[in-house]
Amino acid sequence: MPSEYVPVMIYILLAGAFLIGLLFMAKLLRPSMPGKVKQEIYECGIPTMSNARGRYSVRFYIIAILFVVFDVETIFLFPWAVRYKQLGWFGVAEVGVFLAILFVGYIWAFKKDALRWS
């Protein structure tokens, strides 16, 4: 039984040796010109302004979550649109309830000023 795995082990060892060899060759052949600009966090040429771990407004996260919810809405409406004729009036009622719940969510977000970016 273990002798059946010998070709697999040889293949794994050869693949690993090939990868290590490619990485070693890349290190030897690539140009290396370290400098002050290259050692910066970003090479965009703009000096960093502040800490990258700054706080974001809660509104940003609310907008992001609302975007995900509305994106998922589109994903749920696509299969319904494809099978519209087969579902009949039951499908129309299902989508009506789904969109009514979603519309209540829109109204709630609008009343909480979650959609206002200021």
**Per-residue model confidence as pLDDT tens digits over 52-109:** 677 777 777 877 887 888 788 878 888 888 888 888 888 889 888 988 988 888 888 7
Mean pLDDT of the chain: 82
Tokens of 82: 């494809």
C-alpha 19, offset from chain centre: 28
- Is 95 within a domain? yes
Q: How many domains does the chain have?
A: 1
- Is 106 within a domain? yes
Residue 98's alpha-carbon distances to 58, 73, 77, 85, 101, in angstroms, are 27, 9, 9, 18, 5
| Between 14 and 33, the higher pLDDT residue | 14
Q: Which residue has the tokens 């400098």?
A: 35
| Between 22 and 44, the higher pLDDT residue | 22
Residue span of the structural domain in which 103 resides: 58-111
Percent of the chain with pLDDT over 90: 21
Percent of the chain with pLDDT over 70: 81
